[in-house]
Structure 1
Amino acid sequence: MKIILINRYLYPDESATSRMTSSLASALAARGFDVVGLASRDVHNDPQRRLPADDRVGDLAIHRLATSRFGRSRLWGRAIDYLSFHVSAALWTLLHARRGDVCVVCTDPPMLSVTLALPLRLKGARMVNWLHDLFPEVALELGVPGTGRFGSIALRLRDWSLARAERNVAPIEAMTRLLGRRGIPARTLATIRHWADGDGIRPVRREDNALRRDWDLTDKFVVGYSGNFGRAHEFDTILAAAERLKDRPDIRFLFIGNGHKRATVERWIRDHGLDNVVFRPFQPRERLAESLGAADAHLVSLLPSLESCIIPSKFYGILAAGRPTLFVGDLDGEVARAVAHGDCGHAVAIGDAEGLARHILALREAPATCDRMAANARRLFEAEYTEARGCTEWIGLMDSLLPRPAANADPGRIAEPRLARERKAS
Structure 2
Amino acid sequence: MRLLVHDFGCYAFIIPLARWFAAQGHEVLHLSARDLIGPKGAPSRTVDDPAGLTFDTVALGRPFRRYSLPRRLWDEARYGRGLAAAITAFQPDLILSANTPPLAQALAAWHSRRLKIPFVPWVQDIFSLGAAPMVGTLPAPLAGVALAALRWLEFGPMRRAAGVITIAPTFVDNLAAAGVRHPQTLVQENWAVPLPTPPAPTAWAEGQGLGTARILLAAGTLGQKHDPELLAHLATGLADDPRVRLVVVSEGPGRDRLEALKAAGALPHLVLRDYQPAAQVPAMLASAEIGIVQLCASANGMSIPSKVYSYAAAGLPILAAIPSDNHAAHLIRTHGLGLVVGPDDVAGFLAAARRLLDDPALRLACRAAGLSFTAEHGNIDRIGQRMMAFLNQVRHRDGSTLGSARGRL
Query: Given the two structures, how large is their TM-score scaled by the length of structure 1?
Result: 0.81
Counterpart for residue 424 of structure 1: none
Counterpart for residue 261 of structure 1: 254
Residue identity in the other structure for 1:90? A
Residue identity in the other structure for 2:132? L
Among candidates 318, 334, 356, match of residue 327 of structure 2? 334
- Matches of residues 118-267 of structure 1 in structure 2 within 5 Å? 118-143=110-135, 148=143, 149-200=145-196, 203=198, 206=201, 209-267=202-260
Q: Residues 402 and 61 (structure 1 numbering): CA distance in 2 closer, same or farther, change over 3 Å?
A: farther
Counterpart for residue 380 of structure 2: 387
Q: Give the 3-state SS of the residue equivalent to 1:36 in structure 2.
A: strand
Q: Give the 3-state SS of the residue equivalent to 1:335 in structure 2.
A: helix
Q: Check conservation: 1:301, 1:327, Cα contact below 8 A.
A: yes
| Higher RCO, 1 vs 2 (CA within 8 Å, ≥6 residues apart) | 1
C-alpha deviation, 1:327, in angstroms: 0.5
Counterpart for residue 78 of structure 2: 84
Which ranges in structure 2 are unaligned for 5 or more consecutive residues? 403-409
Query: 1:365 & 1:37 partners in 2: Cα distance?
Result: 44
Question: What do the CA deviations read for 1:220-239 (whole angstroms, capped 9, x no partner)?
Answer: 33211111122211232232
Question: What do the CA deviations read for 1:233-259 (whole angstroms, capped 9, x no partner)?
Answer: 123223212212212213221111223
Q: Check conservation: 2:112, 2:119, Cα contact below 8 A.
A: yes
Counterpart for residue 6 of structure 2: 6
Q: Check conservation: 2:102, 2:150, Cα contact below 8 A.
A: no
Q: Residues 80 and 179 (structure 1 numbering): CA distance in 2 closer, same or farther, change over 3 Å?
A: same
C-alpha deviation, 1:390, in angstroms: 2.9
C-alpha deviation, 1:23, in angstroms: 2.7
C-alpha deviation, 1:131, in angstroms: 1.1
Question: What do the CA deviations read for 1:270-289 (whole angstroms, capped 9, x no partner)?
Answer: 32211111122222222211
Question: What do the CA deviations read for 1:142-178 (whole angstroms, capped 9, x no partner)?
Answer: 4498793411122123222111111111111111211
Q: Check conservation: 2:225, 2:298, Cα contact below 8 A.
A: no
Residues matched between the structures, number = 385
Residue identity in the other structure for 2:131? A
Query: 2:356 & 2:276 partners in 1: Cα distance?
Result: 26
Q: In percent, how many aligned pairs have the same letter? A: 21
Deviates more, 1:212-221 or 1:151-160: 212-221
Residue identity in the other structure for 1:6? H
Among candidates 41, 52, 57, match of residue 59 of structure 1? 52
Query: Given the two structures, how large is their TM-score scaled by the length of structure 2?
Result: 0.84
Query: Are 2:318 and 1:316 aligned?
Result: no
Q: Residues 272 and 389 (structure 1 numbering): CA distance in 2 closer, same or farther, change over 3 Å?
A: farther
Residue identity in the other structure for 1:260? P
Counterpart for residue 23 of structure 2: 30
Deviates more, 1:317-326 or 1:351-360: 351-360
Deviates more, 1:175-184 or 1:314-323: 175-184
Q: Give the 3-state SS of the residue equivalent to 1:326 in structure 2.
A: strand
Q: Residues 72 and 114 (structure 1 numbering): CA distance in 2 closer, same or farther, change over 3 Å?
A: closer
Deviates more, 1:67-76 or 1:340-349: 67-76
Output the aligned Cα RMSD.
Answer: 2.9
Question: What do the CA deviations read for 1:256-314 (whole angstroms, capped 9, x no partner)?
Answer: 12232101012112322111111222222222111012111111000123223112222
Query: 2:28 & 2:85 partners in 1: Cα distance?
Result: 19
C-alpha deviation, 1:116, in angstroms: 2.8
Q: Check conservation: 1:69, 1:81, Cα contact below 8 A.
A: no
C-alpha deviation, 1:113, in angstroms: 3.5
C-alpha deviation, 1:395, in angstroms: 1.9
- Matches of residues 349-388 of structure 1 in structure 2 within 5 Å? 349-388=342-381
Q: Check conservation: 1:226, 1:292, Cα contact below 8 A.
A: no
Q: Give the 3-state SS of the residue equivalent to 1:323 in structure 2.
A: coil
Q: Residues 280 and 117 (structure 1 numbering): CA distance in 2 closer, same or farther, change over 3 Å?
A: closer
Query: 2:184 & 2:36 partners in 1: Cα distance?
Result: 32
C-alpha deviation, 1:199, in angstroms: 3.0
Question: What do the CA deviations read for 1:368-403 (whole angstroms, capped 9, x no partner)?
Answer: 221221121111222223434433321221232458
Residue identity in the other structure for 2:150? A
Question: What do the CA deviations read for 1:330-365 (whole angstroms, capped 9, x no partner)?
Answer: 022112111111112111112322212212222222
Query: 1:371 & 1:103 partners in 2: Cα distance?
Result: 42
Residue identity in the other structure for 2:220? G
Q: Check conservation: 1:172, 1:191, Cα contact below 8 A.
A: yes
Deviates more, 1:248-257 or 1:163-172: 248-257
C-alpha deviation, 1:95, in angstroms: 5.9
Which ranges in structure 1 are unaligned for 5 or more consecutive residues? 9-14, 406-426
Q: Check conservation: 2:81, 2:104, Cα contact below 8 A.
A: no
Query: 1:63 & 1:341 partners in 2: Cα distance?
Result: 38
Query: 1:368 & 1:334 partners in 2: Cα distance?
Result: 26
Among candidates 262, 279, 282, match of residue 286 of structure 1? 279
Query: 1:66 & 1:215 partners in 2: Cα distance?
Result: 31
Query: 1:311 & 1:357 partners in 2: Cα distance?
Result: 22
Query: Are 2:325 and 1:325 aligned?
Result: no
